[in-house]
Chains A and B, each alone.
Chain A
């Protein structure tokens, strides 16, 4: 009787600290939002008043951007599927869905890097003017976040077999990764709207 009570208590305590940890990660994401907010503000200020004649407009290929958007959205969805299989304790399926998420995210990054190289070769380099610098900083910071997320997904896939028996830990780590990955997709909505669609108008 006594031992059961202690075990219960211990479990409860563990759950509480997990909840605090996840809240802490959520706060990190909120501060990351503010980082992106400042970059957006810089981009808008440098692009939409007293503009220099040579703008981003001539270098944008919207079809590529649409493809990137779908890659990111699809990877978001497959991550959710990975989470669902984790809930059903099907760790193998979780690994497969995570691998698909990784491939979709990697396609996004590859497309973005190709686009950067293309734009830079056309003459719109990051040291060309304020517009170019703010464009590469904003979109590059997002791309860097996605690359970090990709590394994180790889690490999670490697960890899966080792954490088979401790689903609590796995659950918590997947929650972090899920928040981060969803957050990147939400930032991308505003990147493609403000940078690409408004830029192409």
Chain B
């Protein structure tokens, strides 16, 4: 019964169903906010990014099944956290530098 899960958690149908339903709802919210044009650009921006971040968490928890139950699962969590730090540095750093350059070119 105790199958090797390689740190990816036990497979349960209920978790997958919950994951796929919440992902569909979040996707519809994000597309609906943009396509209906009910909100101002600023509000829509916040809605789509909130939806994306929540959907990221749902996918990571329900499909990738990140957890801290076993040693290997904890190593996976550490490596994804490290990757997130690098990603934030690359993306925010690039935008910051380029916006600054743009600003000084214009003024």
- Interface set of A (CB-CB < 8 Å, partner B): 15, 18-19, 22-23, 26-27, 30, 33-34, 37-38, 40-42, 44-45, 48-50, 62, 65-66, 69-70, 73-74, 76-77, 80-81, 83-84, 87, 168, 171-172, 175, 178-179, 182-183, 185-186, 189-190, 192-193, 197-198, 200-201
Residues of chain B touching chain A, judged by Cβ–Cβ distance below 8 Å, are: 3-4, 6-8, 11, 13, 16, 19-20, 23-24, 27, 30-31, 34-35, 41, 44-45, 48-49, 51-52, 55-56, 59-60, 63-64, 72, 75-76, 79-80, 82-83, 86-87, 90-91, 93-95, 98-99, 102, 105-106
Residues of B within 8 A of A30 (CB): 79-80, 82-83
Q: Quick one: given A69-B27, A83-B11, A171-B4, are A179 and B64 in contact (CB under 8 Å)?
A: yes
B56 proximity list for chain A (CB < 8 A): 186, 189-190
Residue among A18, A26, A83, A186 making CB contact with B76, cutoff 8 Å: A26
Contact B3 A171 (CB under 8 A): yes
Q: Contacts A23-B75, A42-B94, A197-B34 given; 5 further ones with Cβ under 8 A?
A: A34-B83, A44-B95, A172-B6, A189-B59, A201-B44
Q: Which 9 A-B pairs have the closest CB atoms?
A: A41-B94, A22-B6, A193-B52, A37-B87, A30-B83, A77-B20, A80-B16, A45-B98, A182-B63
Asked if residues A182 and B59 are in contact (CB atoms below 8 Å), the reply is yes
- Do residues B72 and A19 form an inter-chain contact, with CB atoms below 8 A? yes
Chain A residues, CB < 8 A from B27 = 66, 69-70, 73
Residues of B within 8 A of A65 (CB): 31
Asked whether, in the complex, the Cβ of B102 is within 8 Å of the Cβ of A49, the reply is: yes
Known contacts A50-B102, A66-B31, A197-B31; A189/B4 CB under 8 A: no
Q: How far is the CA of A58 from the CA of B82 in the complex (A)?
A: 38
* A18 close to B4 (CB less than 8 A): yes
A93 to B79, CA, bound (A): 34
**CA of A172 to CA of B75, assembled, Å:** 18
